[in-house]
Chains A and B, each alone.
Chain A
Amino acid sequence: MQQIPVSLLTLVAGVVITLFSLWVGQHHSLLPEQASQQAPLVDGFFNIMVTIATALFVVVEGTILIFLWKFRHRQGDDTDGAPVEGNLPLEVFWTAIPTIIVIVLGIYSVDVYGRMGGLDTHNHAPSHVAQMPGTALAATWNDASGMEMAAPVNEPEIGIGAASDRPQKPADLAVDVTGMQFAWIFNYPDSGVMSSELHVPVGADVQLNLAATDVIHSLWVPQFRLKQDAIPGIPTKLRFVATKVGNYPIVCTELCGGYHGSMRSQVVVHTPAEFESWLAENRIAQQELKQAVAVNPAELSTSDFLAPYTQKMGIESIVHSH
């Protein structure tokens, strides 16, 4: 039988590896479901990297394994290998290929990041009073801790802003987010509602204005593929459009103390009608609560004062951790 030429084998291997890598890039299902406008952008970019990575991985690991087998030391052979000290064209080739790959990836990542809203430096959030309206809670906190609370003094410029298909447009809904050991508080400045979970309408352009009272926290919604640190003293923002009704986890990803792992909440994506009724319900409920508290808040300790609120809002972690 005649031997198959090496170049033909290489060609076939190249075609097979290319097809395999393309298939893996589209079918790896490593990521959770997509629930924001940014998620398909990130995933598209990730899929391309998975395709290139698979090809590189198979080629390099395969080459290593083939060489290890083919050039293994055989019993009784005490000579050395061929004294090959280099090959300039080959070295230029394998320097050039990765250089091209990383430059293309670099340009592409700038493009994707721009479309996600990462290069938007303006703040388009609907203007609202920098004080949280009508909440005695905020005032007490300010007095008790001496720390600047929630609503940032400066409008945030850092973080993910308007997606590039909505330049210069203000967000539909702004939510002030405060991270603290070990919970998130979500304030709806336009309606005076405060919640321990984030509620947003599907399809709306939402801007979170992030702040932290004590240490750095980081807000991550894996299904949105978005994350931004909440930093004491530096206002940040995270703007997104939720595309799918459902409940998704909110995870703190910056080490914030012993119970960092329990600092979890969720984002509830409603239909617009459901969202309106949720907002209306909570507006009434929280006004009733305010009337019910007839004691002077300044005389209570922070945790005593917070107790009814935390129960109402279902913040388990604070209560349990102390």
Chain B
Amino acid sequence: MTLEIPRNHPPGNEASTVVVAGTTHHPQAWKWYHYFTFNVDHKVIGIQYLVTAFLFYLIGGLMAVAMRAELATPDADLLEPNLYNAFMTNHGTIMIFFWIVPSAIGGFGNFLVPLMVGARDMAFPKLNAIAFWLNPPAGLLLLASFFFGGGSQSGWTAYPPLSLVTAPTAQTLWVLAIVLVGTSSILGSLNFVITILFMKVPSMKWDQVPLFCWAILATSVLALVSTPVLAAGLILLLFDLHFGTSFFKPDAGGNVVLYQHLFWFYSHPAVYLMILPIFGIMSEVIPVHARKPIFGYKAIAYSSLAICLVGLFVWVHHMFTSGTPGWMRMFFTISTLIVAVPTGVKIFGWVATLWGGKIRFTSAMLFAVGLLMMFVLGGIGGVTLGTAPFDVHVHDTYYVVGHFHYVLFGGSVFGIYAGIYHWFPKITGRMMNETLGRIHFILTFIGTNLTFLPMHELGLQGMPRRVAMYDPQFTSINEICTIGAYVLGISVIPFTINILWSWVAGKKAGDNPWNAMTLEWTTSSPPLIENWEVLPVVTHGPYDYGVHNAEVQTATVTEASA
């Protein structure tokens, strides 16, 4: 085969031509070692993201279990307090920047977007590979920080002046790691925007683009707008640490609240970076396993864009007790409350999708429904936190910890699990074990509620967050949370066994085990290197379940790939 493979793309899309760097022979399928190389195939990159992120999830999870073990008693008797703070800081950092964001956007986004829109690869394959390969060195920098000053200890927020006076070497490594993954995120987002806007197969109309792609589009725009601001804030911090500037040094005329604005201008939208792709996964998984068209396609697509827009104007709700004047606290109370509306629209849309369905309780569907149930509580807690008068009481307490774990663990992580159970057959060509999947779900569901529900009460009663030692009156509730965390720790075991065993010896999946209608199911499992022999022609919507009830299901699928 030749180095360059011509495609039947419309004119002007030459950028999508895949160049396989460094190979003269175009392989028929990737060998195992290709997954450890600078490979430009979007599917390889997607898997690289997912596997790397999962390893970091295990590391961050172990830190969480260690912290909960410490918090089983009121005194600091297990971890040295500075090490506790290092675990607390790096647990948050890893879970956000090295697990949820790279797996949801980098992993699923890369694997699925080209397949879903009928493209042979991302718009800029090499840029894509570069974006991934920024992650491993960033992760190594973060892990190395534990050997240089015991890890950064100023929280994932790294507020100065604390971040300027505590473990400066480790803090520097932390800043560099975040700037690297931020760069990766910007490069990846650019790629997604171009791919979705310009590379969908011509026969796909805009209202036939799968909702996951709409979600990734909204996410990417958000990342492109907000990530540079975080990078700016962190680079100023780096200058204060090493080059004698005083942007954030109050004794030399600096302003510490300025950092908080720069930080939250990115980091609140980062919450949507972590949940919008998951919302996309929900919109794919629920219709397939409920055998129903998605309820309100346009409402769900537009609400992603609405969350993306409004989400840029809510950041000060993290600063209601900081150096912010009253009018600002009021303005951001109202903008924050408004974000609840498009989020509610999505939730109601998914619930309505269940109505009249024929719901199959597969592991993927269990996690999707579990997410739905927990996101309701997380969202309601979020509305209460968005109001300044109440937030003044619970800000920086365990109420906040409980809330954001409902949204990010009960939300994002459940969504990632749902996505893995749903697309594992496509990614590997083999089915996952449903029994192990159910055990995994039950343990995770119980563990999540046991760990994070009591935290709300802790915060309301008076326990601050980010503490290694606390008032003994809170001991019994903390014990419950710790037991819950152990259950969550154990829940990962059946999942890991399931992944490893199914990858090697799972039942063969076939092209379309769920009888799903989006384009990724029209190719083989795992997909060919160039995704399709002949690009598919879109003849029906992505969620037309029941529309063609008269026809045999498989006929429509064949039609699509013909």
Chain A residues packing against B (C-beta within 8 Å): 30-32, 41-42, 45-46, 49, 53, 56-57, 60-61, 63-64, 67-68, 71-74, 77, 79-87, 90-91, 94-95, 98-99, 102-103, 105-106, 109-110, 112-113, 116, 118-121, 146-148, 157-158, 160, 214-216, 218, 220, 222-223, 225-229, 231-234, 236, 249, 251-262, 264
B476 to chain A, nearest CB (A): 16
Q: Complex: how many Å from CA A99 to CA B345?
A: 10
Within 8 Å CB of B358, what residues of A? 71-74, 77, 79-81
Inter-chain residue pair count (beta carbon < 8 A): 288
Residue pair B299, A119 in contact (C-beta under 8 Å): no
The 9 A-B residue pairs with the shortest CB-CB distance in the complex, in nearest-first order: A233-B250, A261-B467, A222-B462, A80-B546, A102-B337, A83-B546, A232-B250, A258-B81, A253-B396
Some 30 contacts from A to B, beta carbons below 8 A apart, are A45-B390, A53-B383, A63-B351, A71-B356, A73-B291, A80-B291, A81-B357, A83-B546, A84-B355, A94-B345, A102-B340, A106-B334, A110-B334, A112-B389, A113-B330, A113-B388, A121-B326, A216-B159, A218-B321, A220-B397, A225-B393, A227-B396, A232-B256, A234-B323, A236-B323, A251-B464, A253-B395, A257-B85, A261-B76, A261-B469
A253 to chain B, nearest CB (A): 4
Residue pair A71, B162 in contact (C-beta under 8 Å): no
Residue pair B85, A216 in contact (C-beta under 8 Å): no
Residue pair A216, B389 in contact (C-beta under 8 Å): no
* Given A98-B341, A158-B323, A234-B323: A90 and B352 interface contact (C-beta under 8 Å): yes
A291 to chain B, nearest CB (A): 33
Among B44-52, B102-110, B112-120, B368-376, the one that faces the other chain is: B368-376
Within 8 Å CB of A42, what residues of B? 389-390, 392-393
Q: Does B327 contact A (CB under 8 A)?
A: yes
Residue pair A233, B255 in contact (C-beta under 8 Å): yes
Q: Which residue of B lies closest to A248 (CB)?
A: B462
Q: Which residue of A lies closest to B459 (CB)?
A: A222
Within 8 A of A (CB), among B462-476: 462, 464-471
Q: Does B533 contact A (CB under 8 A)?
A: no
Q: Which residue of B lies closest to A259 (CB)?
A: B81
* Given A81-B358, A148-B251: A91 and B340 interface contact (C-beta under 8 Å): no
Residue pair A105, B337 in contact (C-beta under 8 Å): yes
Q: Which residue of B lies closest to A111 (CB)?
A: B389
B407 to chain A, nearest CB (A): 15
Within 8 Å CB of A68, what residues of B? 354, 359, 369
Within 8 Å CB of B462, what residues of A? 32, 220, 222-223, 249, 251
Residue pair B545, A81 in contact (C-beta under 8 Å): yes
Q: Complex: how many Å from CA A185 to CA B479?
A: 33
Q: Which of B290, B333, B344 contacts A71 (CB 8 A)?
A: B290
Within 8 Å CB of A99, what residues of B? 338, 341
Q: Which residue of A lies closest to B260 (CB)?
A: A216
Interface residue tally on B, bucketed by range: 35 or more
Chain B residues packing against A (C-beta within 8 Å): 76, 80-82, 84-85, 153-155, 159, 161-162, 165-166, 250-251, 254-257, 290-299, 321-327, 329-330, 333-334, 337-338, 340-341, 344-345, 347-349, 351-352, 354-361, 369, 372-373, 376-377, 380, 383-384, 387-390, 392-393, 395-397, 456-457, 460-462, 464-471, 543-547, 549, 553
Q: Complex: how many Å from CA A80 to CA B293?
A: 9
Q: Which residue of A lies closest to B347 (CB)?
A: A60
Within 8 Å CB of A77, what residues of B? 358
Residue pair A67, B393 in contact (C-beta under 8 Å): no
Residue pair B544, A83 in contact (C-beta under 8 Å): yes
Residue pair A119, B344 in contact (C-beta under 8 Å): no
Residue pair A249, B471 in contact (C-beta under 8 Å): yes
Residue pair B154, A118 in contact (C-beta under 8 Å): no
* Given A45-B389, A67-B354, A82-B546: A57 and B380 interface contact (C-beta under 8 Å): yes
B541 to chain A, nearest CB (A): 8
Q: Which residue of B lies closest to A63 (CB)?
A: B351
Residue pair B292, A229 in contact (C-beta under 8 Å): no
Within 8 Å CB of A215, what residues of B? 159, 161-162, 165
Residue pair B297, A86 in contact (C-beta under 8 Å): yes
Q: Which residue of B lies closest to A221 (CB)?
A: B462
Q: Which of A46, A80, A87, A113 contacts B329 (CB 8 A)?
A: A113
Q: Complex: how many Å from CA A264 to CA B351?
A: 46
Q: Complex: how many Å from CA A214 to CA B162?
A: 8
Residue pair A72, B361 in contact (C-beta under 8 Å): yes
B151 to chain A, nearest CB (A): 12
Q: Which of A41, A84, A86 contacts B356 (CB 8 A)?
A: A84
Question: In this complex, which of B322, B384, B392 has the most chain A Cβ atoms within 10 angstroms of its Cβ?
Answer: B392
Within 8 Å CB of A119, what residues of B? 326-327, 330
Within 8 Å CB of A233, what residues of B? 250-251, 254-256
Q: Which residue of A lies closest to B338 (CB)?
A: A102
Q: Which of B293, B384, B395 contacts A53 (CB 8 A)?
A: B384
Q: Complex: how many Å from CA A63 to CA B353?
A: 12
Residue pair B165, A214 in contact (C-beta under 8 Å): yes
Within 8 Å CB of B361, what residues of A? 72-73
Within 8 Å CB of B372, what residues of A? 64
Residue pair B390, A79 in contact (C-beta under 8 Å): no
Residue pair B292, A80 in contact (C-beta under 8 Å): yes
Residue pair A79, B299 in contact (C-beta under 8 Å): no
Q: Complex: how many Å from CA A73 to CA B294?
A: 17
